[in-house]
Structure 1
Amino acid sequence: MSVAACLLLYGFAVAVLAPRLLQRVTHAGAAPRVALIAWLASMASTVAAWSAATILLLMDLVSHGISTAPKRFLDTCVTHLHDASVGRYGTPVQAGLLLLAGFVALAAGVLGLRLAKSLLRARRSTLEHAQLTRMAGRQHPELDAVVLEVDEPAAYCVAGKPHTIVLSRAVLAALPDDHLDAVLSHERAHLAGRHHLLLAGTRGLAAVLPRLTLFTIGATEVARLLEMLADDAAARIHGRGTVLHALRTLSGMKAGPAGALGAAEVALAARMQRLSTPTAPAARTRARLGLTAAAATATLAPLASVLTAALGIALCTPFSG
């Protein structure tokens, strides 16, 4: 049970501290790939820690709830909880604790179900939109994109079977060939990197846990970093200046559907500033080192908690004999 307690505390610590710290380091976009890993590691490790803690608590309560064996050695920070679970404080307290455990399990199940429904709903929406777009637009074989005959500028990609890049007639008219190629490279980078899966997962967590800034801010930051990664992919092919001018032309265009990844829909001002003023190599290196340390800590801390507790090393307070 000490492992579960420590995992719960770890999850709450990350949920409270990580958003502000990561946002401060990743705001400039100096190392977007490492920043993305740090955000995803923090969110995933928090969910994993809370899930593992819930399972461990339930297993302990079920296995010891009706036990009459002598009390085993436990950390002092969870002694009273264990005493209650084995009935040392009376049957009503024990029953109440088991009822609370059942409620926690039910709440976790409901959150998991809501997350699954959110992901399935997002997938269904994107698939339907991709299908409707291919029906309403015309396939442009040279661009490998679907062109909509509308006068409003639009450029985005939608995951589907197959994936679809959507452009409007207004975008074709507004962008010269090199700028259009940069926009297409941006969208292809999204599809090749399966960015829609990361976006759906983080937005799903933000929807089911709207009061936790780790997930709400994290979803926004992940979307921003994914756009920066796609910008970098396009810039490696066409140059930063070309991508910058293309974004300026597309600024203010109509947003795509939910779940779509548009070239000029997310954090446009910050991305344009980043393209026009590249980060100094020294600052980029410092950002990478700091974010790598943060990602490693978020990933390894829960595992270290389990391993050290399993080896008998007290993480909450020393073992009592």
Structure 2
Amino acid sequence: MNAVTLLLGYAVALSCFAPAMLTRPGMTRIPPGLAVAGWLVAVATTMAAWVSALAVMIVGAAHSVITHTAMTFCVKTLGITPVAMLPPSVATALVVALLLVTMSVALHTVRRVVSSLLGHRRQNLRHAEAVRIVGYPTEHDGVVAMSADQATAYCVSGGRRQTVVVTTAALELLSSAGLAAVLAHERAHLRGRHHRIIASLNALSAALPRLPLLRSAAQSVPVLLEMCADDAAAREHGNEPLLTSLLTLSTGHRTPDGALAAAGTAVVDRMTRLMNPDRGSWWQPRSLAMVGVIAATAAVPGLALGLCTL
């Protein structure tokens, strides 16, 4: 088996089967940060396997055209044995056509991903600038208040300046402890660059909508990131203030696009989890097994390339 076949097969298998593994019921018993790592490693490994296979194919095809060994490339690299019966000129034309199609598909995908990321960045910059113009600073560092009847809080990252936005209704309803927990939640999002993670997954999912892994990751990871921020706030301020704040802010009000809100995603699941004292540990057998699975998942493409080049 050659490297291209092995890498493409592994990418397809991972894209199809990883979502089922990462969404099984037992995943709720491990820390959300570890679950996020599992999703990101699966996505990164799948993309790395695709890119590596395409790179090997493109380099091999270009080399075969230059050295006039197109027939050898088709047989050894692609496994197309019927091409051995074709004239060399036909085999060369086949390789050139494959090279052009592969490069055009790759460039089109990259263009869509980059365009989506740039669009998301421009949207965040515009919203962050509007917040600073319309809102007014509070006594809390990096927190801007906006006049609104709906109680909500969210964070927005615009360039180098990161802002937490709290409506006046939320300031009136939340206790001092509850407000501190909400601000800790939003700052955890900003520290973890959660906006960039979600934007990247959404861009990949939009560019490659037929890959089950990317669709599932774009749906599942935002919820897990909310749980990560919940845990950070709970460690700093305790469960009760955060639970009370989530209940207060759960009005169903839609937050602006590109923002992460304290009470905007999977509130019931998050509150149920916060009320459970056993939320999973990094040292329990299930978590350690997940670490092993993540490491093995990431190592396979490198091993494949190494074994196939020996």
Q: TM-score, normalised by structure 2?
A: 0.91
Please tell me whether the aligned partners of residues 209 and 215 of structure 2 are also in contact (alpha carbons under 8 angstroms).
Answer: yes
Shift of 1:36: 0.8
In structure 2, the residue corresponding to 1:17 is in which secondary structure?
Answer: helix
2:55: which partner in 1? Answer: 55
Q: Does 1:89 align with 2:86?
A: yes
Task: Say what the alpha-carbon RMSD is for the aligned residues.
Answer: 2.5
* Matched AA of 2:115: K
Distance in 1 (alpha carbons) for counterparts of 2:134 and 2:242 = 28
1:272-316 per-residue CA deviation (whole Å, 9 max, x = no partner) reads 1110113365897233123212211221110111111122xxxxx
2:132: which partner in 1? Answer: 134
* Matched AA of 1:232: D
2:201: which partner in 1? Answer: 202
Please tell me whether the aligned partners of residues 4 and 56 of structure 2 are also in contact (alpha carbons under 8 angstroms).
Answer: yes
Written as runs of structure 1 = structure 2, the 5 A alignment for 1:263-282 is 263-279=262-278
Please tell me whether the aligned partners of residues 31 and 281 of structure 2 are also in contact (alpha carbons under 8 angstroms).
Answer: no
1:193-232 per-residue CA deviation (whole Å, 9 max, x = no partner) reads 1111111111111111122220111012111111111000
Percent identity, aligned pairs only, is: 34
**Change over 3 Å in CA distance of 1:113–1:78 after alignment to 2:** closer
Distance in 2 (alpha carbons) for counterparts of 1:27 and 1:265 = 22
Please tell me whether the aligned partners of residues 273 and 279 of structure 2 are also in contact (alpha carbons under 8 angstroms).
Answer: no
Please tell me whether the aligned partners of residues 19 and 217 of structure 1 are also in contact (alpha carbons under 8 angstroms).
Answer: yes
Q: Does 1:11 align with 2:11?
A: yes
Shift of 1:49: 0.8
In structure 2, the residue corresponding to 1:28 is in which secondary structure?
Answer: helix
**Change over 3 Å in CA distance of 1:92–1:26 after alignment to 2:** farther
1:297: which partner in 2? Answer: 296
2:259: which partner in 1? Answer: 260
Shift of 1:238: 0.9
Unaligned runs of 5+ in 1: 312-321
1:319: which partner in 2? Answer: none
Unaligned runs of 5+ in 2: none
Moved more, 200-209 or 29-38: 29-38
Distance in 2 (alpha carbons) for counterparts of 1:224 and 1:121 = 23
* Matched AA of 1:41: V
Please tell me whether the aligned partners of residues 35 and 225 of structure 1 are also in contact (alpha carbons under 8 angstroms).
Answer: yes
2:143: which partner in 1? Answer: 145
1:155 counterpart (153, 156, 159): 153
Distance in 1 (alpha carbons) for counterparts of 2:219 and 2:256 = 16
Shift of 1:123: 0.6
1:121: which partner in 2? Answer: 119
* Matched AA of 1:184: L
